[in-house]
Homo-oligomer: A and B are copies of this chain.
Amino acid sequence: MTDSKPAKAPDRMASLASLCKRRGFIFPSSEIYGGINACWDYGPLGVALKNNLKRLWWQSMTQWRDDIEGLDAAILMHPKVWEASGHVENFTDPLVDCKTCKGRFREDQLETSRCPNKPSKSPKACGGELMPARMFNLMFKTHMGPVEETGSVCYLRPETAQGIYVNFLNVMAPSRQKIPFGIAQIGKAFRNEISPGNFIFRSREFEQMEMQFFVKPGTDEEWFARWRAARMAWHKALGLNAAKLQFHDQTGKELAHYAKAATDIHFEFPFGWQEVEGIHNRTDFDLKRHMQFSGKDLSVFEEATKERYVPYIIETSVGADRLTLTALVNAYAEEEVKPGDVRTVLKFHPAIAPIQAAVLPLVNRDGMPELAREVVQGLKREFRVFFDDGGAIGRRYRRMDEAGTPFCLTVDGDSLKDRTVTLRERDSMAQSRVPIDALAEALRSRSAFEPPAV
């Protein structure tokens, strides 16, 4: 067994970002051109990790239950959508300009911002005169069609939720769903943040996983409570450390104007407790706004009670990039295996690990590489497997620890005689012999992801 010693908080994000670059998880976008602020590219291991999280969320929401339908709405929507949603009017930050240094700052973050001319001082204390604040809209604006004119303005969506609201009846009718039911969507959203940061925690281009659950008014508090519990249980089933998860119930001024209740699920990052997911009771605010702005009736008729009503909406909203970062932070450890020998290891749940199993010939002769290739062939249709014959076996184990690979399957001399391999477990580093024919079942049972039912 090992002694787990996490790196100290201030170093932890730097160590993680460095690992991410070195191992091909995540790197700055357009890096050969000096990067582009707050946009990130996912390399081979990163895209696999993120895809696994997206797939498990999607299956949990749509495939494994029968009351949620999938949707994939376009990023470019009719501009009226953003009038109805309130984003054109209200999705703004207050910005102030400094007459002296020409810097531009968020008025609500002056204390923590720095003057470009006097980096040791905040803009409030550097001596320059600050202009009155102006409101700056965070939506990216573009033009559709061949003419740049007011009539052709459209926006990159700042959230995926509105695509669900405007399609509510388009989904309900053909799917033969009845209230209560939900619509789930995964997709990109864009916010022209003034202060992005903390690696991929807050970026200008990001991916949301949102589920909007439509319920009868009066049942909304019960459904809010159920989804609040269900989403926390889901994160724990992913292997997130329960001690680093907590609810943050919004109260008073924190609550958005449309929300009757809102809870965030917080995770303890090296830079503090921060939101990973939000569960909101949005009432009938959104559908009523779209009824008002589109002139279309979005109410439903309940056959059993002959009632007509506009449904309430319980929203669960989690960022795919943010969850990827959470999974990385949660998994990252530096462990002293024996005195002076520290390994870096990513302890991902096997269901989300980029590589589920590495297949390693002990040495590159005597038929071991050939048998290892055969093992790969037998597993790769179902599992994410990786063949590695480069270097000493100990070094290969460490490389797989760093990539977060939960199982190493080593083909050695005995394998050629009895068709068994050594299965080495990443976290305990325990080894056992498993027949080649039993490997698929061994990986399957060890990789199962079982979130509790709502």
Contacts and interface: CB of A to CB of B under 8 A. Distances in A.
Contact of A30 (B40, B41, B166): B166
A194 interface: yes
Contact of A33 (B40, B80, B194): B80
A64 B381 contact: yes
Interface stretch (A134-142, A256-264, A416-424, A428-436): A134-142
A290 B33 CA distance: 9
Nearest to A104: B146
Contacts of A146: 95, 104, 136, 192, 194
Nearest to A66: B387
A46 B37 CA distance: 35
Interface stretch (A67-75, A236-244, A246-254, A269-277): A67-75
Contacts of A99: none
Nearest to A448: B381
A76 interface: yes
A41 B71 contact: yes
A173 B44 CA distance: 11
A24 B156 CA distance: 24
Contacts of A384: 63
Contact of A22 (B143, B174, B190, B386): B174
Interface residues of A, number: 83
Given A43-B71, A163-B41, A175-B44, A78 B33 contact: yes
A34 B295 CA distance: 11
Q: Which of A167, A205, A294, A388 has the most CB of B within 10 A?
A: A167
Interface string A135-171: 0100011111111000000101000000100110011
User: How many copies of this kind of chain does the complex include?
Assistant: 2
A168 to B, nearest CB: 9
Interface string A35-78: 11101111111111011000000100011101001111111111
A402 B417 CA distance: 54
A303 to B, nearest CB: 13
A306 interface: no
A113 interface: no
A81 interface: yes
A102 to B, nearest CB: 10
A296 to B, nearest CB: 5
A452 interface: no
Contacts of A204: 76, 144
Interface in A66-118: 66, 69-78, 80-81, 95, 104
A185 to B, nearest CB: 8
B147 A104 contact: yes
A304 interface: no
B64 A167 contact: no
A81 B43 contact: no
Nearest to A377: B64
A136 B147 CA distance: 9
B72 A170 contact: no
Contact of A390 (B58, B166, B176): B176
A398 interface: no
B31 A170 contact: yes
Interface in A325-349: none
Contacts of A140: 142-144
Contacts of A174: 22-24, 43-45
A77 B30 contact: yes
A387 B293 CA distance: 36
Given A95-B146, A145-B194, 8 more contacts: A29-B73, A30-B74, A32-B166, A33-B80, A37-B145, A41-B163, A43-B69, A74-B205
12 contacts: A32-B166, A33-B80, A33-B81, A35-B78, A39-B74, A41-B73, A44-B175, A51-B58, A74-B205, A104-B147, A143-B192, A145-B192
Question: A-B pairs with the 4 shortest C-beta distances?
Answer: A24-B174, A30-B78, A33-B78, A39-B74
